Chains A and B, each alone.
Chain A
Amino acid sequence: MSLRIENLAVDLGEFKLQDINLTLEDGDFFALMGPTGAGKSVLLEALVGLVPQSAGEIYIDERKISHLPPEERGIGIVYQDYALFPHLSVLDNIRYGLKFQSREKSGLKSNAERMKVVDDLIPLLGLGHLLDRYPTTLSGGEQQRVALARALVVKPDILLLDEPLSALDPNFRQELRTHLKNLHAASGATFLMVTHDFSEALSLAQHAAIMAQGKLEQTGTIEDIFRRPTTAVVADFVGMKNLFKVEFSATKACCEAVEFKVGRRPESGSGYIAIRPEDLILSKIPLISSLQNSFKGRVAAIRSHGFFYEIDLIVKTLTFTAVITNHAFFDLEPAVDSNFFLSFKATAVHLI
């Protein structure tokens, strides 16, 4: 089912959510991203109905739910710490929600049908051997899967996931990503996931929104947000390390003494430009190419990240960060204080 949030506001005194407008299509997998303290979790709690909203409306399809208590909304939530009931076995945790479902609403007419949902989910999440165990004896990944099963048994219209993978051992993340993907496909529910990990969002979600300081900064496809950030906050968050404040004139942008050629004509006199580090090309001699931006710079720092290197170059007064592969690193043999040329396309310059 689709989820529509209109002008939602939450006032918690010290913290506010304002003007939240968001639409999730039916069956979407949506990633809500942003720095810590942006209000992502507050937004989730407001959707579930656990924090009071001060303005706005929430709809599931055309059903208005913003005035309903949590138990009548049809929105499930999986918390970061899983929040399993410690006094119930795994099976009783999974079945917990069934006894509260009214038959008409859930569309699960008979007990047999309800049990079938349980029976289908258990193998899908690989929980068969854990049913008699208690939550405190389970590993993080197992708890996570139980929490997912428990939330999905009641067939929620929307499932909210609060940083589902962040508390897990990195080795198990890939496995749970696969589980999440399969579950999303199998359940047909609309998923809204909070994360601060871009690779997680890229591998799972179709659409995303970036949130900062209680407001949505940008909403769109993952690709759009990653490639075309519309605000400085978003650019900073998604890793656009080369962010400069510039004055525009025609198709040029000037920052201090450096002049950039930009692809499209900007609208206003001043603003930001952002360039992804991997879009910068390093060379020992000036390149004769169609690249419109080429600067001479001095290497200021080199950082190894295992599979790639980050290199800081100073061009006049600006510091650029470029990313090159290990292979390119050994070809170029950059050293601190050596001179290099830095080139990039005009279209690689994002106007913000």
Chain B
Amino acid sequence: MRKESFLWLTLASSFVVLLFVTVPLLRMLTAPSLASLWETIRDPEVYRSIWLSLYTGISAAAICFVFGTPLAYLLARSEFRGKKLVEAIVDLPIVIPHPVVGIALLGLVGKNFWLGRIMHELGLQIVGSPAGIIMVMTFVGLPFYLQAAKEGFASVSPRLESVSRSLGASMFSTFIHVTFPLAWRSILSGIIMCCARAISEFGAVVIIAYHPMIAPVLMFERFQSFGLSYSQPVAVWLIVVCLLLFLSLRLIGSSSRKRESRGRA
């Protein structure tokens, strides 16, 4: 039977797209020798920057989780005037060019604005500090967390909450015992997405804090000063560590669901 030429077209373009994504990554992963990888990870500057990337990214995701969860629930459950506007506002960080984010935040916490001056007087160092990095990362990661958590909450039937209320549970108890456990998978996805987005940020972070250096900034600096082969090993390590982090988060998340899936089998 003759296959239609359109089918060949779809297969060919799929192949091209997959190659376009995988080839550069594979090339980068295989470029550094094992010796240079070993040497790189023993470099204090490298592991300090990867560690900084990790903990600022995780902190940003944690902040998004704490402050974003109630908002995500509100957006999933209630209709109100101006809801579209609120949704557009929380999505803004996705569409704003990254350096613009950095400049906007610097304008707020820098010394030429009263807020920045007050914080400086109080000894709160934002510019050029991990706190500043976390602030930038929270800003850019928030929409990713909110979107996933909102979808998770929206997928929980309001009737389950209604039944829970009629059985004597308050709104808060209902949220803890019914809504949150059922939305947990999406929430975890949101945390991982937010964390990944935070760790990958460069343009905004570099404006608020060149030092201390997060891994992407270190890569950029090594590329500029020493060339490609010196930044590749750092990139490999960052990717490996991030994959391990997200994999373990997934495992933690799914192990707590095991009872349920066994029951569903």
Q: Which residues of A contact B (CB under 8 A)?
A: 45, 48-50, 69-71, 73, 75-77, 79, 81, 83, 85-87, 89, 96-97, 100-101, 132-134, 136-137, 150-151, 154, 156
Instruction: Decide if B182 is an interface residue (CB 8 Å cutoff).
Output: yes
* Cα distance, A351 to B167, chains bound together (Å): 45
Q: A136-B264, A137-B263 are in contact. Are A97 and B168 (CB under 8 A)?
A: yes
Closest to B167 in A: A97
Q: How far is the CA of A287 from the CA of B165 in the complex (A)?
A: 63
Do B157 and A83 touch across chains, with their CB atoms under 8 A apart?
yes
State which of A50, A101, A156 has its C-beta within 8 Å of the C-beta of B162: A50
Contact of B260 among A45, A48, A134 (CB under 8 A): A134
Whether the pair A69, B166 counts as a contact (CB closer than 8 A) is: no
Contacts of A156 in B (CB 8 A): 166
22 A-B residue pairs with Cβ-Cβ distance under 8 Å, sorted by A, are A50-B162, A69-B170, A71-B167, A76-B167, A77-B162, A77-B163, A77-B166, A79-B159, A79-B162, A81-B159, A83-B157, A83-B159, A83-B160, A85-B164, A96-B177, A100-B168, A100-B173, A134-B264, A136-B263, A137-B264, A150-B163, A151-B166
Tell me which of B159, B163, B164, B264 has the highest count of chain A C-beta atoms within 10 A of its own C-beta: B163
Q: How far is the CA of A154 from the CA of B263 in the complex (A)?
A: 25
Q: Give the interface centre of A81, A83, A133 by most chain B CB atoms within 10 Å.
A: A83
Which residues on A sit within 8 Å (CB–CB) of B173?
Answer: 100
Q: What separation, in Å, do the CA atoms of A134 and B166 have in the docked complex?
A: 21
Query: With an 8 A cutoff between CB atoms, is B227 at the interface?
Result: no
Is A133's CB under 8 angstroms from B263's CB?
yes
Q: Is B70 interfacial (CB-CB < 8 Å)?
A: no
B97 within 8 A of A: no
A89 closest partner in B (C-beta): B263
- CB distance A134 to B160 under 8 Å? no
Q: A45-B162, A83-B160, A85-B178 are in contact. Are A100 and B263 (CB under 8 A)?
A: no
**B181 touches A (CB below 8 Å):** yes
Known contacts A50-B162, A79-B159, A134-B263; 5 additional CB pairs below 8 A are A71-B169, A83-B160, A97-B169, A132-B263, A151-B166
B255 CB, nearest partner CB in chain A, Å: 14
For the complex, give the distance between the alpha carbons of A83 and B163 in Å: 7
Closest A residue, CB atoms, query B174: A71
What is the CA–CA distance of A277 and B173 in the complex, to the nearest angstrom? 54
Contact of A96 among B167, B170, B263 (CB under 8 A): B167
Determine how close the nearest CB of chain B comes to the CB of A238; give it in whole angstroms.
30
Dominant SS among interface residues on chain A: loop
CA–CA, A79 and B165, complex, Å = 13
Number of A-B contacts (CB under 8 A): 76
Contacts of A73 in B (CB 8 A): 166
Cα–Cα, bound, A264→B205 (Å): 90
Q: CB within 8 A of A100: which of B159, B160, B167, B182? A: B167
Closest residue of chain B to A101, judged by CB? B168
Distance to closest chain B CB from A15 (angstroms): 15
* Chain A residues with CB below 8 A from B160, complex form: 83, 85
Docked Cα-Cα span, A87 to B164, in Å, equals: 13
Given contacts A87-B181, A87-B182, A136-B264, contact A154 B167 (CB under 8 A): yes
Q: Which residues of B contact A136 (CB under 8 A)?
A: 263-264
Distance in angstroms from A324 CB to nearest chain B CB is: 45
Shortest beta-carbon distance from B264 to chain A in Å: 5
Minimum Cβ distance to chain A for residue B168 (Å) = 4
* Complex Cα gap A137–B263 (Å): 8
Shortest B180–chain A CB gap in Å is 10
A89 to B260 alpha-carbon distance, docked (Å) = 8
With A and B bound together, what is the CA distance between A150 and B164 in angstroms?
10
Query: A9 vs B165: C-alpha distance in the bound complex, in angstroms?
Result: 22
The interface centre, meaning the residue of A71, A96, A97, A136 with most chain B CB atoms within 10 A of its CB, is A71
Contacts of B169 in A (CB 8 A): 71, 96-97, 100
Q: How far is the CB of A343 from chain B (nearest CB, A)?
A: 52
Contact A70 B182 (CB under 8 A): no
Which of A45, A71, A79, A87 is within 8 Å of B168, CB to CB?
A71
- B212-241: CB near A (< 8 Å → 1, else 0) gives 000000000000000000000000000000
Shortest A145–chain B CB gap in Å is 15
The interface residues of chain A lying within 8 Å CB-to-CB of B162 are 45, 48, 50, 70, 77, 79, 83
- State the CA gap A136–B264 with chains docked (Å): 6
B263 proximity list for chain A (CB < 8 A): 89, 132-134, 136-137
Name the CB-closest residue of B to A72.
B168
Closest to B169 in A: A100
Q: Nearest CB to that of B257 among chain A residues?
A: A87
